[in-house]
Structure 1
């Protein structure tokens, strides 16, 4: 965020403009979102999500808020472990995809809520864990969303975030940049009929803070014992913190 603007890909725009345009992006890609994830990561996103949920370690009877969880990928994994999962997303199109997928699986225990991560309607200390996977970089005011995550967690609650970041592996970063900036929008155009949205999603990764900087933002929101674990040298990272 710079002054009165925030980043939308490589552009700097007014906060309300980013919120509107991000909404349009996800409304456009919702029905093809999971297919595109498979194509862009060669299926690796499934392994990352499995690892992410193992790190969260949801237990039977725990209350978990899965923010930006529209399509249900993380929620389904946590519900299978017996957790009571509320799936929240600002985008109704993404939520509908998840609701339809849950119905096809016969899952009736999940709670679905349209929510803005920056201004959650849930009471203080409502959840044992808060998860957000590949969603925090699309939030307009990230510090506000982190403060809200801290507010809705109970004491002893845990915060986990899975997000793209910046790889530190020599040579790999250049190859990854070439692939993502040149090929991903073309795949998006071919499969989702929307190359522009995938161009934004790649640019949003480039503008997201490096791992140490994002860890400091989590600490500034009030979390303790903050740490991060890079995957693929930091192309993807799992950040975590505790409310104590």
Structure 2
């Protein structure tokens, strides 16, 4: 696997790959890789002739006081895993390479970028959209792969791809969970043993809501009350949001119908976790 640090070199390599007629798949990450990330790599390899990945802990999407400095960084192990999975080229720039002195342009996805995580973390999705737009410009993939766990991010990026006419397919991939149901996340490393047990209330609550929907309870208000009662009654867990929304616009909907997104964010101790499901 080739590891590339500069924008110019990455553009040159990807340009040559495209000229060779290769369908280029791309998996952007912030590192601290787990099985969820690797599932994206495997999906990309199944659908594309060659796969590129990136590792970049993007300072622009962290607000002051968030965990930018503490975010897990396991670069050597990440490289080993990506190489084993058959990634051809890894883009791993420094912050100064992505945001050189004098750079002032930001990408803001208005409205949708201010909902769910965008409401809880003002400016977060501007940071996400800006860095992903830059990565798409550098790599110019045929397909880019993102996890469904970050459902609000997916909605924001789909709107950006549409609005800015990026010539690529954005592929959302299923959430990967541990055996006990906890959605895999790089931030799970922050949890103590007790907190990890407490965190299981997120997936457990979503499953209870899913069962209620299967039992023909469709009113969002009733479902949200069920979920909030469970989450607010759990020691060590502080609810950020529980929402039933249109999966494209992230706007609340009165009824939980097919294709609607049920999403939760909560603090377990000091660690903010997210989870969700789409109604089948």
Task: Report the structure, 1 or 2, having the larger helix content.
Answer: 1
After TM superposition, the score normalised by the length of structure 2 is 0.35
- Greater RCO (CA < 8 Å, at least 6 residues apart): 1
Structure 1 or 2, whichever has the larger Rg, is 2
TM-score normalised over the length of structure 1: 0.39
